Chain A
């Protein structure tokens, strides 16, 4: 059964649902970053997207 699937990572054995729960926690923690921090990450994302797509805007902020 897919729901009972267990995954070994080194010494840890995790259930699939544990991984999903950890991912959820990670996203919630990211949401708690300061607005300033998020804007810095946003600009990095804009740079990455521009490198890949060869178009798009990167905020030029001082």
Chain B
């Protein structure tokens, strides 16, 4: 997967996206025990004019590099990647993301607290399963988590 984060970083360096953080299953995998998952969810912030969010520049850039679409993903160096435009909570997650390295390549991953908040808000069975794993297997700053949940109206 070494090449995939390199390409994502390239998108940021070239100004195609403003910033990003890894979320979803792969972010959970960073904190918890290995489990089966298939795609790499990249939450992004991009410059936006008007109400339409235009992802064309990202896909044009990646297509120009020879990467192809497969269902709802674009396959970058053998890894199916899904780009998700961040909403308010996810944008906060990107700003507070944890810097990591994968095979020497710098990356950013949501903090475990933001990850839990995002999963709780989604609330599907598979999201709740990941919340349980995170709570049991990694250190969580409970005060920080509570604040995130309160500020984003997930916890009243």
Residues of A within 8 A of B (CB): 24, 27-28, 30-31, 33, 35-36, 38-39, 41-42, 45-46, 49, 56-57, 59-62
B79 touches A46 (CB 8 A): no
B36 touches A31 (CB 8 A): no
Chain B residue nearest to A39 (CB atoms) is B1
Instruction: Identify which of B29, B32, B33, B38 gathers the most chain A CB atoms within 10 Å of its CB.
Output: B33
Closest chain-B Cβ to A11's Cβ sits at a distance in Å of 30
CA A18 to CA B1, docked complex, whole Å = 38
Interface residues on chain B, number (Cβ under 8 Å): 24
**A61 contacts B102, CB within 8 Å?**
no
B residues engaging A (CB < 8 A)? 1-4, 29-38, 77-80, 100, 102-103, 136-138
- Taken together as a complex, chains A and B put the C-alpha atoms of A38 and B4 apart, in Å, by 16
Residues of A within 8 A of B77 (CB): 61-62
Q: A61-B79, A62-B3 are in contact. Are A31 and B137 (CB under 8 A)?
A: yes
Q: Which residues of A contact B100 (CB under 8 A)?
A: 35
| A contact residues around B2 at 8 Å (CB) | 61-62
Query: Which A residues touch B80, using CB under 8 A?
Result: 57, 59
CB contacts (< 8 Å) of B137 on chain A: these are 27-28, 30-31
Q: How far is the CB of A61 from chain B (nearest CB, A)?
A: 5
Bound complex: CA A50 to CA B43 (Å): 27
Q: Please state if B102 and A36 are interface contacts (CB–CB under 8 Å).
A: yes
Contact B102 A42 (CB under 8 A): no
CB pair B34 A42 closer than 8 Å: yes
Compute how far the CA of A28 lies from the CA of B138 in the bound complex, rounded to whole angstroms: 7
Bound together, the chains give a CA A46 to CA B80 distance in angstroms of 13
**CB distance A35 to B102 under 8 Å?**
yes
Q: Which residues of B contact A49 (CB under 8 A)?
A: 36
Q: Are A61 and B4 neighbours in the complex by a CB distance under 8 Å?
A: yes
B38 pairs with A33, CB closer than 8 A: no
